[in-house]
Amino acid sequence: MATPPLVAACWRRPVPHTPVWFMRQAGRSLPEYRAARGSGDVLAAISDPALAAELTLQPVRRYGVDAAILFSDIVVPVHAIGFGVTVEPGRGPVVAEPFSSKADLGRLRPFIPEQDAPYVGEAAALVASELGPDVPLIGFAGAPFTVASYLVEGGPSRTFARVKSLMHADPAVWHALVERLADMAAASLASQVRAGASVVQLFDSWAGALSPGEYQRFALPATQRVFEAISPLGVPGILFGVGTGELLGLMAQAGAHAVGVDWRVPLDSARARLGPRHAVQGNLDPAICLAPWEVVAEEAREVLRRAGRATGHIFNLGHGVLPETDPGILSALVELVHAEGRAGVLPR
Ligand code: CP3
């Protein structure tokens, strides 16, 4: 059985075509998503395995992307152990009683996926059996820093003032917090792999808020802990963040096989900063997808040119699909990348 292109690209092996998938490919940009999802709470949709499996599969059917990503959320584990997290439409995760001191560590017990959130593994198993061996399922978790930012800020933040003040003012409590979140992420990823995921992605979406010194001291060690814990599983890992240009050299030390970057860093620079041992994922600006197709096509070609001919490029957007995106543009993008992608492509 041939290794799927996404998996091969993570390992920097030759591929029949450049693999492509889109962060947030399942979502409000798809009419079939809006129809199936209804208006309920996203956490309720996630906890219904049949619905979560259906929402996961929709973009694979429509776009012919090279991977499915499980319909779930980075706050599922902390929600499932009862930390008190909700997700507000249009806003994101909200925590009624934010983490503020050592005493709050008592609210973060270990996460036991099969008991606390059995629906995640059930949805993953449904998806994996539906997909078969040719299209991999990506399991995912939130990286410790990004999940901690929601717990400490109480919601989305612009300045990350509370979370930064906690890490600097009380490093011991901070490290205890992110270690617990690392163990939860690792447990979640391992259970998704047991259920059928064959690649995992760790979302450190907001890591770009940190200086290199802060990242090295306050985020990298817990991130390394996640990748170390799951390394015996033998599946490739992708580490992604937004605004991480100055952090890429450090992110290369996290233990991931591939690193995702946003549109602020051209992929040739990203490769230079990461070194030759990593695959790169990205990095078309999702806002470009709102432009006419000729513009999108030219920008996508520029991404492919920057990725170069060396092995190890996974085409993606630099962040999630915007809800107003025309699905037809994404279908055309998949076709273009499959036809014109060159990184590590086998001679025909
Ligand atoms: O195809 C997919 O990618 C869907 C699966 C998915 C969701 N969340 C479902 C969801 C994934 C991979 C995530 C990850 C996630 N969640 C991240 C990392 C990715 C990134 O964008 O950086 C983050 C930071 C979160 C936290 C979160 N959850 C946010 C910021 C939001 C958006 C709030 C909004 O409404 O704009 C959510 C809610 C959420 N999670 C939605 C979806 C499809 C949208 C709400 C809905 O459809 O009801």
**pLDDT per position as a tens digit, 234-261:** 999 999 999 999 999 999 999 999 999 9
Across 95-107, average pLDDT: 98
Query: Would you kindly state where each structural domain of the chain is located, as residue ranges?
Result: 5-340
73 Cα–ligand 1 center, Å: 6
If you count them, how many residues does the chain have? 348
Indicate if the pLDDT at residue 36 is higher than 90: yes
Q: How do residues 304-340 score in pLDDT, each as one tens digit? A: 999 999 999 999 999 999 999 999 999 999 999 999 9
First to last CA, the chain: 19
Q: What is the mean pLDDT of residues 91-97?
A: 97
What band does 93 get if pLDDT is binned at 50, 70 and 90?
A: very high
- Domain 5-340, what fold? TIM Barrel (3.20.20)
243 CB near ligand 1 (under 6 Å): no
Q: Which atom of ligand 1 is nearest to the CA of 25?
A: 1
Ligand 1 contacts CB of residue 292 (under 6 A): no
Nearest of 301, 304, 316, 317 to residue 344 by alpha carbon: 304
Is the pLDDT score of 348 beyond 90? no
pLDDT digits (tens, 9 = 90+) for 109-158: 999 999 999 999 999 999 999 999 999 999 999 999 999 999 999 999 99
**Which atom of ligand 1 has the smallest separation from the CA of 28?**
47
For residue 169, the CA-to-ligand 1 centroid distance in Å is 30
Query: Any idea what the Cα angle at residue 246 is, between residues 243 and 248, rounded to 5°?
Result: 90
Would you list the DSSP string of 121-186?
Answer: HHHHHHHHHHH-SSSPEEEEEE-HHHHHHHHHHSS--SS-HHHHHHHHH-HHHHHHHHHHHHHHHH
67 Cβ closer than 6 Å to some ligand 1 atom: no
Contact predicate 116/82, CB 8 Å: no
Residue 8, exposed/middle/buried by CB under 10 A (0-12, 13-18, 19+)? Answer: buried
Distance 69 CA to ligand 1 centre (A): 12
Q: Band the pLDDT of 1: cuts 50, 70, 90.
A: low
Atom number in ligand 1 closest to CA 89: 35
| Bridge partners, residue 238, by sequence | 201, 258
Nearest to 274 by CA among 265, 283, 264: 265
Q: Give the integer Cα–Cα distance in Å for 101 and 119.
A: 31
Q: What is the DSSP code string of 214-260?
A: HIIIIIHHHHHHHHHHHGGG---EEEE-SS-GGGHHHHTTSS-SEEE
Q: Tokens standing for 286? A: 């999702």
pLDDT digits (tens, 9 = 90+) for 258-277: 999 999 999 999 999 999 99
The DSSP symbol for 283 reads E
Is 267's C-beta closer than 6 angstroms to any atom of ligand 1? Answer: no
Q: Is 87 in the pocket of ligand 1 (CB under 6 A)?
A: yes
SS (HEC) of 94-120:
EECCCCCCHHHHHHCCCCCHHHHCHHH
Mean pLDDT across 86-106: 96
Residue nearest to atom 11 of ligand 1 (CA): 73
- pLDDT value of position 172: 98
Residues belonging to the active site: 24, 28, 37, 73, 150
Residue to mutate (ligand 1; options 73, 91, 192; most atoms within 8 A of CB):
73
CA–CA separation, 95 and 117 (whole Å)? 19
Q: For all residues of the chain together, what is the average pLDDT? A: 97
